Structure 1
Amino acid sequence: MLRYLPFLLVLALWIYAFIDCLNTPEEEVRGLPKVVWVIIILLFGEVLVGPVAWLVAGKRRHAPAGGSTPSEWHRSHRSRFVAPDDNPEFLDSLKEDKKKDEALLKDWEADLRRREEELRRREDDQDKG
């Protein structure tokens, strides 16, 4: 089992560097265009040159600003998530969906009434005839 460990570590580093490169915004990539870094990681992944080069030289690393701890820096720079029940756009979309569903239901009910009336007329015509 231990003989597979180096292969798995190389594979894990290769996958990590590839995904990290793909998820890095273009303005944070150093030295080469992002596409070139992806090609380098893919072509030289087995020998660790590509992933290590990406991790060392490819991505601009941010230091914590103002002496703050890394967790404080990440908290201040992450995107602001708004819960769905606090998001007015989401609530408006729910109201619109509800209106559309009610209109669709009314159309279906009207269509059902029309078909029932047609069936009654046919049955009445057959009984008379």
Structure 2
Amino acid sequence: MLAWLTYVLFALVAVMYVHSLIDCVRTPSARVRCLPKPLWLLFMLWAPILGSLTWTYFGKLPEQAKTTESGTGAGSGAREPIRA
């Protein structure tokens, strides 16, 4: 049972690490904060778990909400009323 849990934990850490690396590479330089992208990548290579968590929470600026024609945010969940 303990071996199974170890494999699951290792798989979760590996997925988080690969996702963070790909996310860092694909993020535009204008959205990166605190450090330049090459330093973020080096930090993630040097300390995979800490680097991935730090990138996820502090590495990039949040994406701006896109507005539609009606002026509501794209992710706000607001809907137009149904008119009969």
TM-score (norm 1): 0.49
Unaligned runs of 5+ in 2: 78-84
How far is 1:49 from its partner?
0.7
Corresponding letter in the other structure for 1:68 = G
Larger Rg: 1
Alignment partners' CA distance in 1, 2:56 and 2:50: 10
Determine the structure 2 residue equivalent to 1:59.
60
Q: Deviations over 1:20-65 (max 9, x none)?
A: 00001111110101000001111110xx210010011111112425
Alignment partners' CA distance in 2, 1:50 and 1:69: 31
SS at match of 1:60: coil
TM-score (norm 2): 0.73
Q: Which has the higher helix share?
A: 1
Determine the structure 2 residue equivalent to 1:84.
none
Determine the structure 2 residue equivalent to 1:68.
73
- How many residues end up aligned between the 2 structures? 70
Corresponding letter in the other structure for 1:70 = G
Alignment partners' CA distance in 2, 1:50 and 1:70: 29
Corresponding letter in the other structure for 1:28 = R
Unaligned runs of 5+ in 1: 73-129
SS at match of 1:70: coil
Corresponding letter in the other structure for 2:39 = V
More relative contact order in 1 or in 2 (CA 8 Å, sep 6+)?
Answer: 2
Q: Deviations over 1:71-115 (max 9, x none)?
A: 89xxxxxxxxxxxxxxxxxxxxxxxxxxxxxxxxxxxxxxxxxxx
RMSD (CA atoms): 2.1
